[in-house]
Structure 1
């Protein structure tokens, strides 16, 4: 393990990336743990306020991301400075993407169903960075043996082929399959050969004059969502907490039985 770390992470200059990814994941997990405690009214934590204004943690996240990013670009390319900036950047990115849904909707949807997009953004980002980190670097490693060169050439060919297959899956609207398929090739291949989702660019272009294909794609997407959405939501709830239930009509301000549709 130590030899692999030295040859494939430290020597190619990927150590800052490893530190940034570690800080990113740990920051997200710690932040979610704290917000869940605040939500439950437990522990010494509380929302940060200034002059009656609720300061969301995306604000310090943006600051840390800027400091870490500009610090790396400005002067640090290796050594302690690069490591510190990588940790700052990863920490800031974790805070920002934990509230990705708030930025997307420009509304405080943190504990709503729409807030699940934050968890998806974090998982997909960690998977992509992990792919870059785990990939073989063709440059930056000194004194490669003939066997190592052959292994890296084979790995690069496989990665390139799998990237093209993942692009096909992406065009079919299978975004999670495309991302995780970049790490696990059979996943991308399955996503590429199966029917496209009905709202994908592939379906809009190639199923336009094929009503049977559109109908089959819609039915398959419905069955897939019915089968996997509950499991995916359960995993997200375990990681990040369950969203608040959507308010019913009678729970809305000013609503009464007279406001409900139906015979008067």
Structure 2
């Protein structure tokens, strides 16, 4: 191992500044794929956390979730929105509250981008017939490795940023300097937090989903969503269709005509999720 290369697993195992996520959030992560989950018991646990409850209700009452019904409690939210949607809101609330911004890191901008990619993943999942809430969760934490690297290796990040500012690809420089890049760091953290393998692998292979040893549908969704968000922010989506990663969409079984017909919907998807940042 050459000088400067960091052992990722060892780094995360020994990181003193790793964020602690609320216990109920950890339980919700472990509830993915559990068909015997007790919705009432979970709602009660969420309700016991006042900060989490306030954030969830604020988002549940935002325009994103529509409807004129007032959501007054976590149990109401589960009844009106469904357990999976509420789990997504609680995960988002818990994650945004768990991380403190390292020096010079724009945390609100980071989470705004994360929610934009998450909302776009969810939108795309309707075309690819994948689980929309899992897709949202993948998008929400797709870039968590970047934040993690800034928290535990701030000095190295400053050096990497100097090169990235000159036009280099961030993930390539991270791999060269650290021995791993942000998707690998994010996948390791997601694994440590006991997210299901589908989400872990989605994060790991997001940059090159077609080159993964085994095709990950969620990696492909993140890849497409990140492309759409970036293009919309860059020039209002002027070249979005022209350079669209058609091969990735085709591999997901997406009907490109139907997708492109509605692509303008992606310009305003983030909805109520910015509410979670306050």
- TM-score interval, smaller chain: 0.3 to 0.5
- Name the larger-Rg structure: 1
TM-score by length of 1: 0.33
Which structure is higher in RCO with an 8 Å CA cutoff and minimum separation 6?
2
